[in-house]
Structure 1
Amino acid sequence: MYRLAHFSDPHLPSPPGSMTPAYALTKRLLSWSSWRRKRSKQHKREVLDAITADVAAYHPDHLVITGDLINFSADKEFAAARTWLESLGDARDVTVTPGNHDALAGRGAFDPWAEWLEDKTTDCFPKVRIRDEVAIVCVNTGVPTAPLLATGTCGQAQLERLGPMLDELGARGLFRIIAIHHPPTPGGSPRKALTDQAALRAVLEKHGAELILHGHTHVPLLGAVRGPKGSIPAVCAPSASQKPAGKNPAARWHGVEVERAGDGWTVRVVVRGFAPEGGPIRALGQYRLDV
C-alpha cells in the first residue's frame, strides 16, 4: 500500500513588506487588497499548522499540495513559502503543483520551488515524479489572468505533451495521479473555471489516468471524468487554512491509500479536518474508489 496525503490552497500569510511600489499598477495590487480585506480573516496560519501536524502524524509516503501556496506572487511570498515547504520534510517527499495565485508573476516564476516540482529540472509542464508504483503528474493551470478573473489554462503545448506521457506511464503499469489546481469537471463559476477543461478531458478520455487530485474551489468535491476504461475519480480538497465557523468549509485534508487489486487498483480516501463548529481535528469519514 502506498499512502499519500493531499491538501490544497494553504494561502500562507504574506510577509510584511511583500507589497512594493513595483506591483502597484498590476493585478497583484488587487490580490493584495483582497488578502487584506477578507482572505486574511478567512485563512489562518494556526489552522494550517494544525492541519500539517495532523498530516505528519499520518506518516504519509508522500504529500501532494495542489496550488495557491501564496496570494499575489510577491518575491517575499515565494521565499516564505519555500521556508514553509522545507519545514514539511524532504523535498523528495513533497510535490507541489502551482495555482492561479502562485502565477500572477508569470509561468516562469516557480524557480524557488523547483525541488518540489520534480526530481530533475525541465523547462516545461507537465512534470512527473515516480514513487513506488505511483506516478504523480503535475499539470500547471496557473496563468496570469485579467483583473477579477481566477481562471486557469493548461495550454495546447502542455496538453500535447500530457497524452504521450500518460501512455508511457500507463504502459509501465503505474498508478497515474493528475495533480492540478483547477477542477477538470464542469460546473462552478465561469470566473474561476479551467478555460480548456474540455480539451483536458479529451486527453484523459483517450490516454487515461487513475485519479485526479485538485483544489481551487475551497470546498470538498468528489467528481469524475471519462477515461478509456471507465470513470476517473476527481477529488477536491478545500483550503487547508480555512478557519472553522467561516463562510467556506473548514480546513481538511485527505489521506489517499493506493493498493493494487488484481488487474486494477483500490483507493481508500480518509478525510480528516475540522468540523464546521470547530474543535480539534478529527476523522470526518472515509470512502473507497475502485479504479
Structure 2
Amino acid sequence: MITLAHISDIHLSPMPDVGWRDLLGKRLTGYLNWRLKRHGELNSETLAGLVAHMQAQNADFTAVTGDLVNLAMKFEVERAGEWLSALGPTDKVAVCPGNHDAYVPGALESAQDIWGDYMRGETLDDQVFPFVRRVGELAIISCSSAVPTRPFLAIGRFDEKQAERLGRILKVMGEAGYFRTVLIHHPPNAELQHPSFGLKGHKLFRQIIAEHGAELVLHGHTHRSSIHSIPGQGKEVPVVGVAAASAAQGGTLDDPARYNLFRIERAGEGWTCTMREYGFQRLGTDIVMRLQMRIC
C-alpha cells in the first residue's frame, strides 16, 4: 500500500511589507484584492494546524498543487521555499505551480530556482514539465498550467507541446504498470471552467487522458472540494480538487481548509484507491475526517 497526501493553494501569509514601486502592473490589483478581501479569508494559523495534522499521517508522498505565494515577490518565494523544507524532504514532496506562482513574467523561473528539486523530476527532454516522481508503484506526473496573465485574470494554459509530452509519459508509465497520478493546478473539467479563471487547453488535457489513460488527476485553484471525472481507457478517471489549505473557517469565499489522503493498493491486474478528506467544518475547531470513499 502507498499513501499519497494532497494539499493545495497555500497562499502563505502575512503579506510582506511592500512599497508602491513593488506594486506595478498586476501586483497592484492583487495587493488590493488581498487587503480588501483575502487577508481575512486566508491565514497562517489555519494552514499550520492543517499541515501538522497531515504530517501526522506519515504519508509516503505529498503532492502540492500550486499557489504557494500571492504576488510572487522574491521574499514570498523564498519564504515558500522554507515552508517546503518544513513540509518534507524533496524526495517525498513535489510541487506543480499555480497561477500565483507565475503571477508576473519571470516569477515562475525564480520559483524554479529557489524551490529546486521540489519542482523537478524525471523528464523526457530538457523541458521541466511534465516531470515524474516514482514512489514504489506510484508515478506522480506534475504538469504546469501556470502562466502570467493580465490584471483580473487567473487563467491557466495547457498547450500542445506539453500535451504531447504528457501523452508519452502516460503511455510509458502505463505500460510499466504504475498508478499514474497527474497533477495540474487549474481544474481540467468542463464543469469548472470560467473565462477569467479557467484552463485554456482543458479539452486537450482531457483528450490526452482519454487516449492514454491515468488512474487519478489532482488539482487546486477553485478553493473548493470537488470530485469529477474524465473518460479514460474503458474507465472513468477520477479528478479530485481540494479546498485551499489556508482557508479560514467562517469565510464567505471558500470551503474551510482541507487536505486529501489517498490509500493506493494493487488489486490483481488493477488498483484500488480510497480517498479520505480531512479538514475543518464550518462550525467547530477540530480537524475531522469529513469523507471516505473508494474512487477506483
- Do both proteins adopt the same fold according to a TM-score greater than 0.5, normalized to the shorter chain? yes
1:265 aligns with 2:271: yes
Structure 2 residue aligned with 1:250, among 251, 256, 261?
A: 256
Separation in 2 of the partners of 1:108 and 1:254? 28
TM-score by length of 2: 0.94
The one-letter amino acid paired with 2:189 is T
Separation in 2 of the partners of 1:124 and 1:95? 13
Give the deviation of 1:240 after TM superposition: 0.6
Q: 5 Å matches for 1:51-130? A: 51-106=50-105, 107-110=108-111, 111-119=113-121, 122-130=126-134
Q: 5 Å matches for 1:166-245? A: 166-188=170-192, 189-245=194-250
Contact 1:219–1:236, Cα closer than 8 Å, also in 2: yes
Q: Are residues 55 and 4 of structure 1, via their aligned partners in 2, closer, same or farther at CA, if it must alter by over 3 Å?
A: same
Query: What is the CA deviation profile of residues 149-181 of structure 1, one whole-angstrom value per residue up to 9, with x for unaligned ones?
Result: 111001221111111111111111001000110
C-alpha RMSD of the superposition = 1.5
Helix, strand or coil for the counterpart of 1:282? strand
Give the deviation of 1:278 after TM superposition: 3.1
The one-letter amino acid paired with 1:6 is H
Contact 2:188–2:205, Cα closer than 8 Å, also in 1: yes
Helix, strand or coil for the counterpart of 1:5? strand
1:45 aligns with 2:44: yes
Query: What is the CA deviation profile of residues 172-201 of structure 1, one whole-angstrom value per residue up to 9, with x for unaligned ones?
Result: 100100011000101233211101100111
What are the ranges of 5 or more consecutive residues in structure 2 without an aligned counterpart? none
Give the deviation of 1:229 after TM superposition: 2.2
Separation in 2 of the partners of 1:232 and 1:145? 30
Separation in 2 of the partners of 1:148 and 1:226? 32
Separation in 1 of the partners of 2:291 and 2:233? 30
Contact 2:3–2:264, Cα closer than 8 Å, also in 1: yes
Helix, strand or coil for the counterpart of 1:58? coil
Separation in 2 of the partners of 1:22 and 1:227? 49
Helix, strand or coil for the counterpart of 1:55? helix
Q: Are residues 15 and 147 of structure 1, via their aligned partners in 2, closer, same or farther at CA, if it must alter by over 3 Å?
A: closer
Contact 2:256–2:281, Cα closer than 8 Å, also in 1: yes
What are the ranges of 5 or more consecutive residues in structure 1 without an aligned counterpart? none
Helix, strand or coil for the counterpart of 1:191? coil
Structure 2 residue aligned with 1:147, among 125, 132, 151?
A: 151
Helix, strand or coil for the counterpart of 2:91? helix
Structure 1 residue aligned with 2:286, among 280, 283, 286?
A: 280
| Alignment correspondent of 1:160 | 164
Separation in 1 of the partners of 2:16 and 2:281? 31
Query: What is the CA deviation profile of residues 71-122 of structure 1, one whole-angstrom value per residue up to 9, with x for unaligned ones?
Result: 0111111000001111112121111110001011334232211211124685
Q: Are residues 22 and 169 of structure 1, via their aligned partners in 2, closer, same or farther at CA, if it must alter by over 3 Å?
A: farther
Once the two structures are aligned, what percentage of the paired residues are identical? 37
1:11 aligns with 2:18: no
Separation in 1 of the partners of 2:135 and 2:181? 11
Query: What is the CA deviation profile of residues 121-164 of structure 1, one whole-angstrom value per residue up to 9, with x for unaligned ones?
Result: 85421111111101111110010111111110012211111111
Separation in 2 of the partners of 1:82 and 1:268? 31
Contact 2:104–2:149, Cα closer than 8 Å, also in 1: no
Separation in 1 of the partners of 2:267 and 2:195? 39
Helix, strand or coil for the counterpart of 1:67? coil
TM-score by length of 1: 0.95
Contact 1:103–1:109, Cα closer than 8 Å, also in 2: no
Q: Are residues 224 and 269 of structure 1, via their aligned partners in 2, closer, same or farther at CA, if it must alter by over 3 Å?
A: same
Q: Are residues 149 and 15 of structure 1, via their aligned partners in 2, closer, same or farther at CA, if it must alter by over 3 Å?
A: closer
Query: What is the CA deviation profile of residues 8-47 of structure 1, one whole-angstrom value per residue up to 9, with x for unaligned ones?
Result: 1011015523x35554332122112211221111001000
The one-letter amino acid paired with 1:191 is S
Separation in 1 of the partners of 2:31 and 2:264? 39
Instruction: Tell me the number of residue pairs that the alignment of Structure 1 and Structure 2 aligns.
Output: 289
